[in-house]
Amino acid sequence: MTLLLLEALVGIAVLVEVLNLLAREFLSGVRREDALREDLRKLQEDLAEAAKRLASQKNDLRRGLGDLDGAKTACLDVEREMEKRQRVEPVMVYLLGPETGVGFRYRAPLTKALAQDADAHQKKLWGRKNFVEVWVATEEKALAIADDQFSSRHGYKIGAFERTGDSVTEKAA
């Protein structure tokens, strides 16, 4: 009977151990499943937050690219304007008179009336600023020399002379 009792106790102990193992596996599986579900929920929240941040950064990037395009356009406009301002308009100066560097320098604007069928080169030449420059002692002499060379009969018009330089050297005797 003791043996029977001992066998019953051993059988009950084995049964308890088996139930303990099975319960532990079952309960830990349930716990693990709950933990995995919680982790999955946190990951989904993190992904949603990351998607919001990415959308915000995309908008910032698009705004920045728009600003960059605007700055690039403005920079190109400034470069064109600088190039335009650095371009020197060609000027034609007709130097008249007996000798340069003696007396005073007088300069006057010079224009020419062109016919409708004038040569393209003539139109280009007279479409720019033209001046007549004479080195003499008086403005009257300058006008006389310039009028002799550029007569109004040929369509030339001489503007008012301005003294633009002081006496450089006096002619040696």
DSSP assignment of 82-119 equals: HHHHHSPPPEEEEEESS-TTBSEEEEEEEEE---TT--
Helices within the chain (DSSP H only): 2-86, 120-126, 139-149
- Per DSSP, 172 falls in state P
Q: Band the pLDDT of 108: cuts 50, 70, 90.
A: very high
Residue 136 CB coordination number (10 Å) = 22
Q: Determine if the pTM surpasses 0.85.
A: no
**Residue 45 confidence (pLDDT) above 90:** yes
User: From residue 164, how far is each of 42, 51, 113, 136 by CA, in Å?
Assistant: 86, 74, 26, 12
Q: What's the confidence (pLDDT) of residue 29?
A: 61
Query: pLDDT tens digit string along 89-105?
Result: 888 888 887 777 778 88
Contact 158, 132 (CB under 8 A): yes
Stated as kind and residue range, the H or E segment containing 129 is strand 129-136
Contact 107, 69 (CB under 8 A): no
> How far apart are the C-alpha atoms of 132 and 106, rounded to whole Å?
8
> How far apart are the C-alpha atoms of 9 and 29, rounded to whole Å?
30
